[in-house]
Amino acid sequence: MITFLQATFEGLSLGAVYSLVAIGFVLIYKATDVLSFAQPALVVVGAGLISALAVDRGVPFWIAFIVGILLTGIIGLVMERTFLRPMVGEPVFSVAILTIGIDILLRTVLNNWIGLNPRYLGDPFQSFGNFGSVNVGGVTLKYLEIAALFTGVIIIILLSVFFKRSKYGVAMMATSYDQEAALAQGINVGRIFGLVWLISGVLAGFAGFFITGGFNTLTQASFLSALRVLPAVAIGGLDSIPGAVIGSLIIGLTQGYVAYYQLMLEGVIGFSLGSGFSLIAPYLIMFFILIFKPDGLFGTKEVERV
């Protein structure tokens, strides 16, 4: 039972982090029709910025945290303005390839900076006692994971009210449905695009911190964790924000359960699945779900542009 709770907690915390990136991905797709494969790169760039400020430059952590996340948002904004705005109206496929180009660019620069040694983010979570964790009834709750879960939930609640109730959210919905009609209502579509990329960048920055914070550290391989957002989005459906959250939770929980129950599972099936199977499991789940629901669990049926 304790193992189960432990795995569930870790899975939910991970899922909350993935859902931040997944929401950004879906937002961009909904509002601008762009499949942005650069989102996972933005995640690690955000972490890199925080680390560079907090550790290399010695800026107090919380300032570095806020500045790093805002800078990630601004990088998103600049990417949209410089690379993607001129591509409005071009085939979705070309634009998607362009975002892969941006992804490679960002990661090359970042990996060059990271180098061979893991980078710490200078956050307070590693220095708390017990390796930064608290024990509740036998379940080890890492402070970083608790923070991730809380931050994720708060951001999701704030954003869902924002999208439903504020003029910006309603304008985003309108823009995603019909740009011409949105323009005729006096909505500045360009500004909405910019806002969407800014929000997505900020969300990626938050996720970057939680994925690489504490003892997780930022390495050249951290990107692989961020990449797991793609199966989450595919499972949820490319154009559904609730789908993005649920897809992310499915991926997070899968990873959590497989990590703890793999041995038991191997005992039942009689052969080894190899180390690191928990990292592959999300993709298997994705294949399985897409066989039955090709548009994802919550995706619109006629997403004709993929």
Kindly state the tokens that stand for 71. Answer: 């800078």
**Interface residue with other proteins, options 89, 94, 129, 180 (CB under 8 A):** 180
CA distances from 285 to 39, 113, 254 (A): 21, 34, 8
Question: Taking CB under 8 A as the rule, does residue 178 contact other proteins?
Answer: yes
Question: Taking CB under 8 A as the rule, does residue 187 contact other proteins?
Answer: yes
Question: Taking CB under 8 A as the rule, does residue 20 contact other proteins?
Answer: no
Residue showing tokens 């890492």: 142
Kindly state the tokens that stand for 67. Answer: 């500045």
Question: Taking CB under 8 A as the rule, does residue 238 contact other proteins?
Answer: no
Residues 222-240, buried b or exposed e (16+ Cβ, 10 A)? bbebbbbbbbbbbbbbbbb
Q: How far is the CB of 190 from other proteins (least distance, A)?
A: 8
Question: Taking CB under 8 A as the rule, does residue 270 contact other proteins?
Answer: no
Question: Taking CB under 8 A as the rule, does residue 184 contact other proteins?
Answer: yes
Query: Chain-centre distance of CA 16, in angstroms?
Result: 9
**Interface residue with other proteins, options 120, 168, 260, 283 (CB under 8 A):** 168
**Interface residue with other proteins, options 16, 182, 241, 258 (CB under 8 A):** 182
Of 105 and 183, the one with the shorter C-beta distance to other proteins is 183
Beta strands in the chain (DSSP E): 133-136, 139-142
Q: Which of the residues 146 through 165 are near other proteins (CB under 8 A)?
A: 158-159, 161-162, 165
* CB burial of residue 271 (10 Å; 0-12, 13-18, 19+): exposed
Q: How far is the CB of 223 from other proteins (least distance, A)?
A: 29
